[in-house]
Amino acid sequence: MREMRAQLLDGMELERSRGITIKAKAVTLRTMYKGEEYELNLIDTPGHVDFQYEVSRSLTCCEGALLLVDAFQGVEAQTMANAYAAMEHELAIIPVINKIDLSYARVDEVVEEMEQSLGIDGNDVVKCSAKAGIGIDELLAAIIERIPPPSGNVSAPLQGMVFDSHYDDFRGAISYTRLMAGTVETGQKIRLARADAVYEVIELGQFVPKRRPTKRLRAGQVGYMICNIKSLKDVHIGDTIVSTGADAAPALEGYAQPKRMVYCGLFPSDGQDFKELREALEKLSINDPSFEFVAETSDALGFGFRCGFLGLLHMEIVQQRLEEECNVDLVQTAPNVTYRILDKRGVEHELHKPQDVPDSGEIEEFRQPIVRVNFVVPNDQIGVVMKLSQDRRGVQQSTEYISPTRAMITYDLPLAEVIYDLHDKLKSATRGYGTMDYELIGYEPADLVRMDILVNGNNVDALSVICDRRDADRRGRAVVKKLKDEIDRHMFEVAVQAAIGSRIIARETKPAMRKNVTAKCYGGDISRKKKLWAKQKEGKKRMKSIGSVDIPQKAFMAILETGADN
């Protein structure tokens, strides 16, 4: 009881400080029902669209799902996305309305929303309050009665799905496993099917919710497995654990590869930390397989990694985990989405960074990713959301009323217009009541260009961005103005320019720090002052030709400021 605290399953400090769930957490619960003991294996999943991969992995390991809806917020866009995902996996769904103890709860309206938007029978909805303990017995009874028990055969050959893992400096990789069939015991030899590596099981256990060792796990149970796996290349989420004999079970299908939406460069602030950054990324990728990384070189920042993420929030979380958990000091470049280019020879290329964009003469067609965005908003905020979408070149697809007070609006939007600030703008425009969810539907041709940023006459490759040609001039002026404010003053004048190809579209000048060289002249001939000024000017010019400009971290993120508010 001493260790009990609010949001017990949100164990990461980052989750508690941000107030969101980032990682799916497994927990085993034992309860009595009608005189018999039942063991329930539950997985708490995140809700944000950037962590959808955590949800999809969890659904693969389950027989049923609790569809949790807030008694005041009602059905949100992500609720509908997760409900359809559970239906695709043919899971038994138990609709639940939580927080019914709130004075402003609107239970009957929310039940009506669930009936209209999800086709759920209102009589099947379980009403409860986790905080006040209302309806918990009814919810546990519904889980036992409505969700079928695991179908795995305890006597069959061992077959277990690795659905998560993390790296421990002392014990190696710790695998979180759902046993589909068979039994595994401490001391037994097991084989990782994908890595084709054999290990001995050192420790088994379950989450209750802390790790508790046990001697045996059988089909249907969820637990952890420690095999002293030190080689990181042998650990794959979605791998199958099987026995080593000739009668070993076949490997399971595993998980579909996640679609990375956003890419950015991560560079160590000190070039000597490149090896430490690589090790930190490898360890973190065991716990979070939804991001990828590949080594790259930047003229401005040296050696680093090009990393792919599911969204902007996912990118922020990975960066913070690297800095806080792995103690790595990072410089992050501005994020960009994945584009496709069709060249003159008819060959399609996928671009993860602006520096790879070829000359305009080699491009037959520039294609950008398009996503279908579902907004769930109050009826009186429909006009605001429509203007927000049309300002970002959105194409309306449908409007559907899911209750007398709420509607779902569907737009097709360029992904680049969605990931940066659309969620924040939506929350501001709808006073926090609007929600959104999106999915990639394909790539469409667009009039796009690469905008380069020149500092002191040198092209800073890490500051290049891809943008719409119609927005280039306005965005270029906004970026150079922002960069001028972020870059510190030097002993020489610093020119900040935005260019498309060889054409300069915007310029700002950061003035030099100047000493009053004529302070000691109390009068006399003006020619003496002119000589001192000329000498100072010559010195500044010489400094500019050999000097280097220090660009702070904030400057790399400044190019996300499009100037739209102005």
Q: 490 — phi, psi (to 5°)? A: -115, 180
Q: Does 226 appear as a known binding residue?
A: no
Q: Is the pLDDT of residue 4 over 70?
A: no
**How do residues 28-48 score in pLDDT, each as one tens digit?**
888 888 888 888 888 888 877
Count Cβ atoms below 10 Å from residue 387 Cβ, excluding itself: 12
Q: Does 136 appear as a known binding residue?
A: no
Q: Does 419 appear as a known binding residue?
A: no
The average pLDDT across 225-235 equals 81
The average pLDDT across 46-52 equals 74
What CATH number should be reported for the domain whose range is 340-445? 3.30.70.240
The average pLDDT across 273-281 equals 84
Q: Does 427 appear as a known binding residue?
A: no
Same-fold call for 262-331 versus 340-445: yes
10 Å CB burial of residue 477 (0-12, 13-18, 19+) is middle
User: Which has the minimum average pLDDT: 9-13, 22-26, 542-546?
Assistant: 542-546
CATH superfamily, with its number, for domain 13-146: P-loop containing nucleotide triphosphate hydrolases (3.40.50.300)
Q: Is the pLDDT of residue 86 over 70?
A: yes
As given in the structure block, the two tokens for residue 199 are: 């290990």
> 159-243: which CATH number, 1.10.4160.10, 2.60.40.10, 2.40.30.10, 1.20.1530.20?
2.40.30.10
CATH superfamily, with its number, for domain 262-331: Elongation Factor G (Translational Gtpase), domain 3 (3.30.70.870)
As given in the structure block, the two tokens for residue 214 are: 């046990």
C-alpha torsion angle, residues 320, 321, 323, 326 (rounded to 10): 180
Q: Where are the domains of the chain?
A: 13-146, 159-243, 262-331, 340-445, 451-558
CATH architecture type of domain 451-558? 2-Layer Sandwich (3.30)
Which pTM value belongs to this model? Answer: 0.74
C-alpha torsion angle, residues 21, 373, 416, 267 (rounded to 10): 20
Angle at 281 between CA 276 and CA 284, to 5 degrees: 125
pLDDT at 313: 81
Strands, E, within 210-317: which ranges? 211-214, 216-218, 222-229, 240-243, 262-268, 292-298, 302-309
For residues 9 and 33, the model is more confident at 33
User: Which has the minimum average pLDDT: 93-107, 263-277, 471-485, 544-558?
Assistant: 544-558
Tell me how far apart the alpha carbons of residues 42 and 94 are, in angstroms, rounded to a whole number. Answer: 13
Tell me how far apart the alpha carbons of residues 160 and 216 are, in angstroms, rounded to a whole number. Answer: 13
pLDDT at 95: 92
The residues facing 164 across adjacent strands are 176
* Band of residue 547 on the pLDDT scale cut at 50, 70, 90: very low
Which letter does DSSP use for residue 277 in this model?
Answer: H
The contacts found for 210-217 with CB under 8 angstroms, 24 or more apart, are 210/3, 215/185, 215/186, 216/183, 216/184, 216/185, 216/186, 217/177, 217/179, 217/183, 217/184
* Band of residue 411 on the pLDDT scale cut at 50, 70, 90: very high
Instruction: Tell me the chain's radius of gyration from C-alpha atoms.
Output: 28
Tell me how far apart the alpha carbons of residues 361 and 344 are, in angstroms, rounded to a whole number. Answer: 8
Judge contact between 506 and 471, C-beta under 8 A: no
Judge contact between 241 and 184, C-beta under 8 A: yes
- Average pLDDT value over all residues in the chain: 81
* Band of residue 17 on the pLDDT scale cut at 50, 70, 90: low
pLDDT at 435: 82
Tell me how far apart the alpha carbons of residues 535 and 323 are, in angstroms, rounded to a whole number. Answer: 47
**How do residues 376-402 score in pLDDT, each as one tens digit?**
888 888 888 899 888 888 899 988 888
* Band of residue 551 on the pLDDT scale cut at 50, 70, 90: low
* Band of residue 169 on the pLDDT scale cut at 50, 70, 90: confident
Q: Is the pLDDT of residue 444 over 80?
A: yes
The average pLDDT across 354-364 equals 82
